[in-house]
Copies of this chain bind each other. A is one copy, B any other.
Amino acid sequence: VEGDFKLILKEWQAEVNTRLMNELDGRRPALLYQPIRYVFEGGGKRIRPVLALLSSKVISGAVDQCWDAAVAIEILHNFTLVHDDIMDRDDTRRGRPTLHKQYGDSISLLAGDGLVALAYQVLLRTRSSQLDEIARRFTDGIVVLCEGQAMDLEFESRTDVTLDEYLEMISKKTAKLLDVSASIGALVGDAEPAEADALGRFAYNLGCAFQIQDDLLDILSDESTTGKTYGSDIKRNKKTYLSIHALNEGTQKDRKRLSSLLGGADIGRDEIDEVKGIFQRVGSIDEAQRAVQHYVESAHRCLDKLRFDRDKVFLLGFLDYISNRNA
């Protein structure tokens, strides 16, 4: 079964990539579409379109009608990466210079805008009697993404962020678009709203698990497999489940030491090891792992409630794929 999932995953990822490129055929001016091409060439796991396709498949047994919506969601995701990288002043993504490093801020800002519009163009080609509702959910997703990014920006200048606030932020910035992907896929498959919501909640929980796991991988992962630099969140003083937990729950001495270490641009492996030690002592790592487990189990339960058994095995495969990264 896992083999089956990996097989369609590979096939669909390739198809998404082909369709992304095809969208750019014949479009001009190059100053707008060449940067967009650069973004598409950057690759990625394409998990959002795959999730939309899986949802459509579970509901209707078919994915043919869902390609446009799936590709639209991937385009939208790429828009958020381009604009977030500008705001976060990130220099690299997937081993290449970020778009704004390559083309400058103005052109990247504009390319991001073009990506949103392109996403809607592709989405609105979808043949569905529920297209209005699909477009509404897609749009709500963008509003919530912007709200999540605003919270993230706001957190940068605060030291008193709570875990609840952090969970709200990641649910808006990460989980919501997975929710939207699954529920739109279901609607394209002509699901009832309640079925679409159930698949959406499955994806939402998976999204929360995914993000907290991402926070964990920053200090637990093997660089050679994930490509993530050890302690990069710590160096950049990025708020994570771990740092927020430790800053809220640690002793006064721990909190003081953490505050002086986090965000030190020139801190080395020793200092990151020290931060990791504090996270361990305060119980932040255990707590984060429990949170991941909690969300994965919630995702599982959402699937139990689904009326459909056909093809559900693929959703389980997806769940394993997402929750066992580098485990």
Interface residues, chain A, CB within 8 Å of chain B?
Answer: 28-29, 31-32, 83, 86-87, 105-107, 109-110, 112-114, 116-118, 120-121, 124, 131-132, 135-136, 139-140, 142-143, 145-147, 149-151, 153-154
- Are A149 and B117 in contact, with the CB atoms below 8 A? no
| Chain B residues whose C-beta falls within 8 Å of the C-beta of A143 in the assembled complex | 114, 117-118, 121
C-alpha gap A151/B30 in the complex (Å): 9
C-alpha gap A212/B114 in the complex (Å): 26
| Chain B residues whose C-beta falls within 8 Å of the C-beta of A124 in the assembled complex | 132, 135-136, 139
**Nearest Cβ in chain B — how far from A29, in angstroms?**
5
| Chain B residues whose C-beta falls within 8 Å of the C-beta of A145 in the assembled complex | 117
C-alpha gap A86/B139 in the complex (Å): 24
- Are B32 and A150 in contact, with the CB atoms below 8 A? yes
- Are A32 and B135 in contact, with the CB atoms below 8 A? no
C-alpha gap A120/B150 in the complex (Å): 19
- Are B83 and A113 in contact, with the CB atoms below 8 A? yes
**Nearest Cβ in chain B — how far from A175, in angstroms?**
17
| Chain B residues whose C-beta falls within 8 Å of the C-beta of A113 in the assembled complex | 83, 112, 116, 142, 146
- Which of B109, B117, B121, B151 is close to A86, meaning CB atoms less than 8 Å apart? B109
- Which of B29, B106, B118, B153 is close to A87, meaning CB atoms less than 8 Å apart? B106
**Nearest Cβ in chain B — how far from A23, in angstroms?**
11
- Are B154 and A31 in contact, with the CB atoms below 8 A? yes
C-alpha gap A145/B124 in the complex (Å): 18
Q: Which residue of B lies closest to A28 (CB)?
A: B147
Give 22 A-B contacts (CB < 8 Å), ordered by A residue.
A29-B147, A32-B147, A32-B150, A83-B109, A83-B110, A86-B109, A87-B109, A87-B110, A105-B105, A107-B153, A110-B153, A112-B113, A114-B146, A117-B139, A117-B143, A117-B145, A117-B146, A118-B143, A120-B120, A121-B139, A132-B132, A135-B135
| Chain B residues whose C-beta falls within 8 Å of the C-beta of A116 in the assembled complex | 113, 116, 142
Q: Which residue of B lies closest to A80 (CB)?
A: B113
6 cross-chain pairs, A with B, having the tightest CB-CB distances, nearest first = A32-B150, A117-B142, A120-B139, A114-B146, A87-B106, A117-B143
Most buried by B among A32, A140, A150: A150
Contacts A117-B139, A124-B139 aside, 16 further interface pairs with beta carbons under 8 A come to: A32-B146, A83-B113, A105-B105, A106-B153, A107-B153, A109-B109, A110-B146, A110-B153, A112-B113, A113-B142, A117-B145, A120-B120, A120-B139, A121-B139, A124-B135, A131-B132
